[in-house]
Structure 1
Amino acid sequence: MTQAPVTTVRDKLVKPRQPFYRKLYVQVLIAVVIGVILGYLSPSYAVAMKPLGDAFIALIKMVIGPIIFCTVVTGIAGMRDMRKVGRVGGKALLYFEAISSVALVIGLIGGIVFQPGVGFNVDPSTLKAGEIASLTAQGHNIESIDFLLSIIPTTFVNAFAKGDVLSILLVSVLFGCALASIGDRGKPVFDFIESAAQVFFKIVHYITAVSSIGAFGAIAFTIGKYGVVSLVPLLKLIGSFYLMCVLFVVIVLGLVARLAGFSIIKFVSYIKDELLIVLGTSSSEAVLAPLMRKMEQAGCPKQTVGLVVPTGYSFNLDGTNMYLTMAILFIAQALNVHLTLSQMITVAIVGMLTSKGASGVAGAALVMLASTLTVVPVVPVAGMVLILGIHRFLGTGLAMTNLVGNGVAAVLVSAWERELDRDQLRHVLDHHND
């Protein structure tokens, strides 16, 4: 009797080669190009495509709460050892703070070196601050103790109704710790939540299959609304910001990846599907679930991924931090406001604090910018008007940088815990295009 061949993990990872046009990143890239062309040729029709992008983001946000809850709970409860949960969480937060600080400094360096706002010579008295009044109000709220209290939901279900990531994380951590502490009695609950997670991941798979439509609608609206020609005076800021994002990924995250034993270039290629979806939608939330799945396929333990990646979406905002410091320097330069070294350091410190407060707020980067400017009054908050028109373009770059940073963090913490399957990681990065 012939013995059946043994199927290895590596064999499962090797998929039959599919036609190029069926690959997700190709479909999204084509959709983005078509959206740009439509936005340039027919702005009115392009603006009308906005509901397609909004619908896609809404569908994704619909399942983010349950996915975070299921993955964090099973991640913590699956570890059993609460000391390990604390150790993994502590290492993740330590890394997040360190790398976020580096991102803030790099943003300052970019603003000083490229000086994108120099030569604008804008008169502050001519700026209309009405458009940013609500953002400033939210910024004041972020600084207050009320924001910290708002993380605690009024009810268990209210955390999911609000869709606040920090509230969902709080509930999930408490639930996971409680589930782990009761031992075998909680196994039926654990099995149910683990099965529910598979269902929600399948829903995300269905939604992601039409991500090219969402990307088309979002990018068509952006180009149709703001145009390309009108952005010429601000292209220096956009170009310098994207350059700093690339340098941050290649040099800083590249060094982190090298220390963890993998290539950042291969890693970026591995998550290109997710990056192109972010390129079209300007939202890293749209690919939270697919990113977690890919990190597991790359050899990271499910428990570590379930704890590190969702937490990183609130605390590991590398691209957002660079945006913050470069935007403030741009506004200061455009208004001919000279910032001293101590004031720049203050900007970085305040940005580190306010970035955590803005993570659960819609339009987080703009809210964080308003919050920081209210603390550093030497730069008029009204100066934010100068970048409102290009924020979506900058937001795309910061979202893509945040995505790469959170993926690298998951691999690093897994390696830090000595639980990373390096053979599987190497194979996946080398053969993901096969």
Structure 2
Amino acid sequence: MIDVDHGAPARKLKLYQILYVQVLFAIVVGMLLGYFKPDLGEAMKPLGDGFIKLVKMIIAPVIFLTVSTGIAAMSDLKKVGRVAGKAMLYFLVFSTLALVVGMVVSHIVQPGAGMHIDPNTLDQKAVAGYVSKAHDSTVTGFLLNVIPSTIFSPFVSGDILQVLFVAVLFGIALAMVGERAKPVLDFLTALAQPVFKLVAILMKAAPIGAFGAMAFTIGKYGIKSVINLAMLVGTFYATSVLFVVVVLGMVARYNGFSILKLVRYIREELLLVLGTSSSEAALPTLMQKMERAGCSKSVVGLVVPTGYSFNLDGTNIYMTMAALFIAQACDIPLTLGDQILLLLVAMLSSKGAAGVTGAGFITLAATLSVVPSVPVAGMALILGVDRFMSECRALTNLVGNATASIVVARWEGELDRDQLNAALNDGAAAHPAPEAPQPGLPAEPRRA
């Protein structure tokens, strides 16, 4: 559960004491406030921003402790490269599939058809800022940015991939030093206890953050902006659900678990993402939950943080769907070559702008800047509803990364089947976790 601190089974908690119920209630209240009192709702923005900053504050130490101690406990360092390679293969296949799904659905539904928009009448200034950021976000720049300026700078900037880079190298160094590194490993293991206790404390503020973020979203952008482009928003949400249930559902079934049970298992994280529109808000607790579901610490530590930059199923569906929507709205026919180019550029740009605030919209700008057939100015058509679609992007990305953790753990023989079945069938509440994981302890052998 998000609330890792309570030791009693969830059935003993009253309904209003369960965190996901509190978050859901906060979301509803925030929507009502934003709708009926938009000015007051917009003023609630600091509550959401404050909570996200609290969570981001703890992400770097959580990733570093989990990854470095997990790798240090490995006896076979070749396994680190093997796990990373398998994770990247998974990310590449399903990111590409998500792009194709978004494109196919856009062709079938035609959400932008009949709008007959003249691109010359669109306000290019509205999207100029996103285009400028997109030009700054190149694949080469992204790869170089993974290497931090100093070993300590990632903990200041909070860059997930930089923290992961340092953690992997430090974990490998600890493993290579061997017995002499045991005092350092013991210290990091002990340090994990108060860090994960701090996560539990911060998560108690989740309802406040969800309330503030939702009140601001509805108050500033209003429900009417969604209604105006309801076809696009509805198609995107339906496609994302279809991708999770059908595509990820088949993957889950093949690997011996139910995608619907997994969604239920991570419902607290999903509601947190829905309320805050930030998938990072759920990163620390998602890592804990995947460990409790039977995935080894080393696999979770490598797959989940990396997936936050490379396994963006929801973002990829959005990019091809939004690009085709703009083309349809502006009556621009796309040849097969144009669409193949769109797919290839989207695959690269989705990695180049990873980790940037508003990454979904920025990656779309980066893609359209390279594909001349679709006008970048057309992004002004969807600017008003992008905030509402960003929530669905984040939710889909979260489910995709949870699925990836289980699949890669199974491929590696690092999945405890009994623990997975217990977690998904009975829920996290029926199997409360200890106050903090023990990342430094060698994991027992797991069988797929």
TM-score, with normalisation over the residues of structure 1?
Answer: 0.94
Residue 267 of structure 1 pairs with residue 274 of structure 2: no
Match of 1:339 among 328, 334, 337: 334
Match of 2:66 among 64, 71, 82: 71
Contact 1:153–1:167, Cα closer than 8 Å, also in 2:
yes
Q: CA deviation at 1:76?
A: 1.7
Structure 2 counterparts to residues 352-371 of structure 1, below 5 A: 352-371=347-366
Q: CA deviation at 1:46?
A: 0.6
Residue 89 of structure 1 pairs with residue 77 of structure 2: no
Contact 1:152–1:167, Cα closer than 8 Å, also in 2:
yes
Cα gap change, 1:200/1:131 in structure 2, threshold over 3 Å: closer, same or farther? Answer: farther
Q: 1:348-383: CA deviations, max 9, x gaps?
A: 111111111211211111111111111112111111
Aligned-partner SS, 2:73: helix
**Structure 2: which 5+ runs fail to align?**
1-6, 431-448
CA distance in 2, matches of 1:395, 1:104: 16
For residue 55 of structure 1, what is the amino acid of its counterpart?
G
Name the counterpart of 2:41.
Answer: 46
Match of 1:412 among 399, 403, 407: 407
Q: Which range moves more in the overlay, 397-406 or 136-145?
A: 136-145
Runs of 4+ in 1 over 6 A off after TM superposition: none
CA distance in 1, matches of 2:253, 2:348: 29
Contact 2:161–2:305, Cα closer than 8 Å, also in 1:
no
Aligned-partner SS, 2:395: helix
Name the counterpart of 1:285.
Answer: 280
Cα gap change, 1:142/1:230 in structure 2, threshold over 3 Å: closer, same or farther? Answer: closer
Residue 114 of structure 1 pairs with residue 109 of structure 2: yes
Q: 1:199-247: CA deviations, max 9, x gaps?
A: 2222221111110111111111111111112321211111000001101
Contact 1:80–1:181, Cα closer than 8 Å, also in 2:
no
CA distance in 2, matches of 1:108, 1:206: 42
CA distance in 2, matches of 1:85, 1:147: 22
Name the counterpart of 1:102.
Answer: 97
For residue 381 of structure 1, what is the amino acid of its counterpart?
V
Contact 1:141–1:147, Cα closer than 8 Å, also in 2:
no
Name the counterpart of 2:442.
Answer: none
Contact 1:71–1:307, Cα closer than 8 Å, also in 2:
no
Q: Which range moves more in the overlay, 238-247 or 126-135?
A: 126-135
Q: CA deviation at 1:144?
A: 5.8
CA distance in 2, matches of 1:322, 1:56: 28
CA distance in 1, matches of 2:301, 2:139: 30
CA distance in 2, matches of 1:35, 1:89: 40
For residue 167 of structure 2, what is the amino acid of its counterpart?
S
Residue 215 of structure 1 pairs with residue 213 of structure 2: no
Name the counterpart of 1:37.
Answer: 32
Q: CA deviation at 1:194?
A: 2.4
Contact 2:44–2:216, Cα closer than 8 Å, also in 1:
yes
Contact 1:108–1:325, Cα closer than 8 Å, also in 2:
yes
State the Cα RMSD in Å: 1.6
Name the counterpart of 2:439.
Answer: none
Q: CA deviation at 1:15?
A: 5.2
CA distance in 1, matches of 2:169, 2:163: 10
Name the counterpart of 2:443.
Answer: none
Aligned residues: 423
For residue 242 of structure 2, what is the amino acid of its counterpart?
L
Structure 2 counterparts to residues 224-303 of structure 1, below 5 A: 224-303=219-298
Q: 1:99-129: CA deviations, max 9, x gaps?
A: 1111111111121111111122222112222
**Structure 1: which 5+ runs fail to align?**
1-11
Aligned-partner SS, 1:101: helix
Structure 2 counterparts to residues 299-318 of structure 1, below 5 A: 299-318=294-313
For residue 414 of structure 1, what is the amino acid of its counterpart?
A
For residue 39 of structure 2, what is the amino acid of its counterpart?
S
Residue 322 of structure 1 pairs with residue 313 of structure 2: no
Name the counterpart of 1:169.
Answer: 164
For residue 33 of structure 2, what is the amino acid of its counterpart?
L
Structure 2 counterparts to residues 375-394 of structure 1, below 5 A: 375-394=370-389
Aligned-partner SS, 1:389: helix
Q: Which range moves more in the overlay, 49-58 or 357-366?
A: 357-366
CA distance in 1, matches of 2:237, 2:346: 20
CA distance in 1, matches of 2:171, 2:125: 44
Q: 1:403-434: CA deviations, max 9, x gaps?
A: 01111111111111122111111111111165
Residue 191 of structure 1 pairs with residue 186 of structure 2: yes
Contact 2:67–2:297, Cα closer than 8 Å, also in 1:
no
Q: 1:38-76: CA deviations, max 9, x gaps?
A: 111111111111111010111111111221222221222
Q: CA deviation at 1:160?
A: 2.2
Aligned-partner SS, 2:59: helix
For residue 221 of structure 2, what is the amino acid of its counterpart?
Y
Q: CA deviation at 1:143?
A: 2.3
Aligned-partner SS, 1:182: helix
Contact 1:142–1:357, Cα closer than 8 Å, also in 2:
yes
Match of 2:397 among 396, 402, 421: 402
For residue 190 of structure 1, what is the amino acid of its counterpart?
L
Contact 1:304–1:410, Cα closer than 8 Å, also in 2:
yes
Q: 1:156-208: CA deviations, max 9, x gaps?
A: 12222222222222222222222211111212222222222332222221111
For residue 168 of structure 2, what is the amino acid of its counterpart?
V
Residue 150 of structure 1 pairs with residue 137 of structure 2: no
CA distance in 2, matches of 1:80, 1:105: 40
TM-score, with normalisation over the residues of structure 2?
Answer: 0.91
Contact 2:69–2:171, Cα closer than 8 Å, also in 1:
yes
CA distance in 1, matches of 2:58, 2:313: 24
Q: CA deviation at 1:300?
A: 1.1
CA distance in 2, matches of 1:13, 1:22: 12
Contact 2:142–2:353, Cα closer than 8 Å, also in 1:
no
